[in-house]
Amino acid sequence: MMRSLQSIPRSWLYVILIVLLAWPLIKPIGIKLDISDETRRCYEAIESLEPGSVVVFGFDYSAGNKAEMEPQALAVLRHLLRRNVKVIGLAFVEQGPILGEQAFQKTGWTEKQYGVDYINLGYRAGGQGTVAAFANDIPGTFNTDISGKPSTSFPIMEGIKTAADIDLIVTIAPGTPGPEDYVRQVFSSYQTPLVCGVPAVAITQVAPYVQAKQIKGILGGSPAAAQYELLIEQPGDAVAAMDAQSLAHLLIVAVIILRNIGYLAEKKASNNTANPSGRGTHS
């Protein structure tokens, strides 16, 4: 019995995982979701924006991590739409512009006036160096929008020169360029408030900047996206995925416990075999 706990076939584990992921997606359990302080800080940063404020939205994620990052982007964009602010979308990741277009469509931004209420400035290559260039000269770095028209020809860009003219930067970024680059190149020079969305595994990397008050708040992974959806009272994909994530985490914890019980039992058995009398070897 204990030996079998040491060698559960991988295929069994995979089947159990598929069932545990699929079941709550088909029939939601409705596990209660608490709102974390970090998510609430992000929400409050956006809630405090005055109508007409200018927000730069960095679509710095790609198709590979869309599943984890897009729910965050959608939830924040929906909130921004409600706050009646202006959004300048841009990307330092090559797939960002098309994902930005999709996000604008999914959240209802496309019903607003393009170039007046929102704009998509597309992608610029160069990583951290380009983030610095953006901070110093926004219309110079992003001189055209996604369709190739001069960015300065749009009313939304009037009076926008450097990062000092921006009221808030939101970046949804699983890697680099990401929050750290914005802190180094934008916040350190212009003190523009920054909110970011990162995958759950990257929270640790960004947390020191939040404690140092260089980032106003972080959204970490799908749980934060789900909490944000609840805060804006528009439950979406992230809330639906939370039951599945909970059960998957529970399964991982369960297999770790089972494996260790098996290991300890086997160790005890091998000790008994080596020393059947149970006495020490020294007389």
Near another protein by CB under 8 A: residue from 46, 119, 146, 238 = 146
256 is a contact residue toward another protein (CB under 8 A): yes
Query: Shortest Cβ distance from residue 252 to another protein (Å)?
Result: 5
98 is a contact residue toward another protein (CB under 8 A): yes
Q: How many residues bind another protein (CB under 8 A)?
A: 67
- Among 51, 41, 45, 83, which Cα is nearest to 193's? 45
Amino acid symbol at 74 = L
216-235 residues in contact with another protein (CB under 8 A) are 220-221, 223, 226
Pairing mode, strands 168-172 and 54-59:
parallel
Phi, psi of 115 (to 5 degrees): 90, -15
Near another protein by CB under 8 A: residue from 55, 60, 68, 90 = 68
Which tokens belong to 209?
A: 């900047």
In angstroms, the CA 144 to CA 150 distance is: 4
Helices assigned H by DSSP within the chain: 2-5, 10-26, 37-47, 66-83, 96-106, 128-136, 138-141, 179-182, 188-190, 203-211, 221-231, 237-274
46, 52, 54, 80, 237 from 49: Cα distances, Å? 5, 8, 9, 9, 26
Query: Shortest Cβ distance from residue 88 to another protein (Å)?
Result: 18
Site map for another protein, 167-186, x if CB under 8 A?
Answer: --------------------
In angstroms, the CA 258 to CA 273 distance is: 23
Near another protein by CB under 8 A: residue from 2, 232, 248, 265 = 248
Near another protein by CB under 8 A: residue from 1, 10, 26, 51 = 10
4 is a contact residue toward another protein (CB under 8 A): no
Partners of 217 in the β-ladder: 195
For binding to another protein (CB under 8 A), which residues are involved?
Answer: 8, 10, 13-14, 17, 21, 31-34, 36, 62-68, 94-95, 97-98, 101-102, 124-127, 129-130, 132-133, 136-137, 140-141, 146-147, 188-189, 200, 203-205, 207-208, 211, 220-221, 223, 226, 242-243, 245-253, 255-256, 259-260, 263
